[in-house]
Amino acid sequence: MIPEIGHIFLISSLVLSLVGGLGPFIFNKELPIRKMALLMFLLVFGSFITLIYSFVVDDFSVAYVAQNSNINLPIYYKFAATWGAHEGSLILWILSMNIWLLAFISFDKNRNTNFSNIVFGVCSLVIFSFLLFTIFTSNPFERILPIPPLNGADLNPSLQDFAFTVHPPLLYFGYSGLLLPFAISISAMLSGQSNKDWASSSRPWTLLACSFLTVGIGLGSWWAYYELGWGGWWFWDPVENAAFVPWLLTVALVHSLIVTENRNLFVSWSLLLSIFAFAASLLGTFLVRSGILTSVHAFALDPERGLFMLGIFSFFVLGGLAIFAFKNSTENKTSFYSLNSKEFGLLLNNVLLVVLAVSILFGTLYPLIYEAYTGGKQISVGAPYFEFIIFPFSILLGLLQGIALYLSWGSTKSFNFLTKLILESLSIFLLTLVLLFVLFDELIPASFFTIFIFSWLIVGSLLINFSFKSFNKYLDFLNRRIGVLLSHTGMALLVLGVGVVSSYSNDIELILDTGEKIEFLNKDVELLDIKDINGPNFISKTANIKVLDSGRTFNLQTEKRTYFPSGQVTTEAAIDTGIFRDFYISMGDNFKGDSWSFKLQSKPFIRWIWLGALLITLGTFISSINILRRKS
């Protein structure tokens, strides 16, 4: 009965979103958009709750529950299994879009103007199309009747994990947040809202979407690091790229909107970028859900769903671009700015980010294109291509970001800051090298570039305006610009983390018998024993390992788990975390008797990558909240 109620909620929200979507365009009527947005949200929320309920009470007559849960699954994971696969993810996605819409309407001060009505209409249409997609191709409320299974098939074991349970909701929230910039851009073109108005209305939401995308991607990377058992933090997997491309475009949009709002420039560019960012998030969904690209992210592969997604993509993206080509009523003036202005700096930033995004998208799609036009020949584009591409872009973007905050609108009067910037960055650079030498006893030239960029960024974002004499003034500056300073500092830490971990990492693979001792990077590592341990829904071989590291002794447990409903095997890595290095042990396969293979890795500075991502998340979040507060 409960699942049917959820189903009815879903269908009611479908009808409501269609009315809301057509209202502003066809009836040309003033709709009670606040109430409608609230009602739509409540209906989808209700249906989400009923789905959670079906999971929690083990209602295996619901096909989706039977496929993704199990009686023995711990209650917390039953709850999280709701979004463990395609159908539930979609509901969550639609729910997020509703939350964004509701938030926009609540903060909107142009209430019931043509502008807000069209934003509401576009959002409702997108929500309608996703609801249609869900109900017709991916309905989570379908029943297995008359004889339901007694037990479910289980949630994919590698997804039974804390980071996983929060990674998808946050990422979806970020992805779906790009709906607002898109809707605002369409509405700006149709209603002819002034550029300052629509750009300032779009900026906080773009920042917020960026914040959620960053934390979602960061959590995904962290999860892959400790859960998959390889110690990697980024794989250039198509699904990762599908999130990275929208992120890059969103970052570009965050910057170009500043120019549109303050200088009435880059108008068409910001409009287009809003459409592109949304298109990239839809395209990502399409690539992942259609199964065109195979990857570690095991999702449902279904060509019918692919066609449906492609339909949604074409309708909104081509529709948006057609409006841009024929119905664009925003005011577009040209004015001059010099090559040393903030405008030009932000232009370069945008060009670099967008070209990088397109290159990564191209690398992701290229295997498909190659195959289609060579009659089925295969090619794989892997990490070397992406690393080769991203390196020069990061250097250029980094150099630019370091001076960004010193530039002024129109033209920058003096470049005297450069001497100070260069000298201070060089000192930080040398200090960092000394620190690395003290920590790891060696200097690796390959990392010098990234370490210099790190120093340049730290100086460019934190030490700007710094002086002991007017320290209070400096604190005031920090306070005023806290959002941008945090995100830019986050970028610096991330760059350092990537640079150090990719050149200072060490690993060794070996076979250990119980009681055997070895030495790895001045650490004594001893395999104490291997025990059989029974978990709630798995059995595990747990290796207990003692490590003696410069006077400190600690024990680590790494596991090979076999989850019994599915028989799937996962590796639980043992990680001794540290701000300067992680020590990472993962268990391989059994050889004979009690000897197992192990992989030992040292991952210096890897935490800085996620710390950086966290600062970017915080920074963009704070900026967004500050703008929203100022407005209301």
Partner 1 sequence: MKRILNLMPLVVFGILVVVLYSFLTQENEQLESVLVDQSVPEFKLPALENPNNILSKSSVNKLPALINVWATWCIACRVEHPFLMQLKNKSTLTVYGLNYKDDRKKALDLLENEGNPFEFSIFDQQGKLAIDLGVYGAPETFFVDKEGIIRERHVGALTQKVWKEKFEKFLNEDNDV
- Per CB under 8 A, 29 contacts partner 1: no
The single residue among 101, 123, 208, 275 that binds partner 1, judged by CB under 8 A, is 275
Range list of H helices, 108-161: 114-137
Closest CA to 215 of 173, 277, 186: 173
Q: In terms of DSSP bridges, do strands 552-563 and 538-549 run parallel, antiparallel, or are they unpaired?
A: antiparallel
- Per CB under 8 A, 295 contacts partner 1: yes
Q: Which stretch binds partner 1 (CB under 8 A): 442-450, 493-501, 584-592, 619-627?
A: 584-592
The single residue among 2, 8, 38, 153 that binds partner 1, judged by CB under 8 A, is 153
Distance between CA atoms of 345 and 354, rounded to whole angstroms? 14
562 forms beta bridges with 539, 569
- Per CB under 8 A, 595 contacts partner 1: no
- Per CB under 8 A, 279 contacts partner 1: yes
Q: In terms of DSSP bridges, do strands 574-576 and 581-590 run parallel, antiparallel, or are they unpaired?
A: antiparallel
Work out how close the CB of 220 gets to partner 1 at its nearest, in angstroms, rounded to a whole number. 14
User: Between residues 335 and 378, which has the closer beta carbon with respect to partner 1?
Assistant: 378
Strands (E), 432-537: 506-512, 517-520, 523-534
User: Between residues 380 and 550, which has the closer beta carbon with respect to partner 1?
Assistant: 380
552 forms beta bridges with 549
Nearby residues of 309 by Cβ (< 8 Å), 6 or more positions away: 133, 282, 285, 286, 289, 290
Measuring CA to CA, how many Å separate 462 from each of 207, 342, 405, 451, 580?
21, 19, 10, 16, 21
- Per CB under 8 A, 380 contacts partner 1: yes
- Per CB under 8 A, 45 contacts partner 1: no
- Per CB under 8 A, 376 contacts partner 1: yes
The single residue among 52, 190, 219, 272 that binds partner 1, judged by CB under 8 A, is 272
The single residue among 75, 318, 355, 435 that binds partner 1, judged by CB under 8 A, is 318
- Per CB under 8 A, 324 contacts partner 1: yes
Phi, psi angles (nearest 5°) of residue 507: -150, 160
- Per CB under 8 A, 593 contacts partner 1: no
Closest CA to 104 of 195, 33, 190, 172: 33
The contact pattern for partner 1, residues 228-267, with x = CB under 8 A and - = no contact, is: --x----x-x------------------------------
User: Between residues 230 and 344, which has the closer beta carbon with respect to partner 1?
Assistant: 230
Measuring CA to CA, how many Å separate 317 from each of 126, 165, 500?
11, 31, 40
The single residue among 75, 301, 423, 528 that binds partner 1, judged by CB under 8 A, is 301
User: Between residues 374 and 408, which has the closer beta carbon with respect to partner 1?
Assistant: 374
The single residue among 112, 595, 597, 626 that binds partner 1, judged by CB under 8 A, is 597
- Per CB under 8 A, 151 contacts partner 1: no
Judged by CB under 8 A, how many residues of this single chain contact partner 1?
Answer: 49
26 CB burial (10 A radius; 0-12, 13-18, 19+): exposed
- Per CB under 8 A, 298 contacts partner 1: yes
Distance between CA atoms of 300 and 313, rounded to whole angstroms? 19
| Contact status, residue 59 vs residue 113, Cβ threshold 8 Å | no
Work out how close the CB of 486 gets to partner 1 at its nearest, in angstroms, rounded to a whole number. 33
520 forms beta bridges with 523
- Per CB under 8 A, 307 contacts partner 1: yes
Q: Is 92 in a helix, a strand, or coil? A: helix
State which amino acid sits at residue 93: W
Q: Which stretch binds partner 1 (CB under 8 A): 321-329, 400-408, 523-531, 603-611?
A: 321-329
Residues that bind partner 1 (CB under 8 A): 153, 230, 235, 237, 268, 272, 275, 279, 286, 290, 292, 294-296, 298, 301, 303, 306-307, 310, 313-314, 317-318, 321-322, 324-325, 328, 367-369, 372, 376-378, 380, 382, 509, 566-569, 588-591, 597, 599
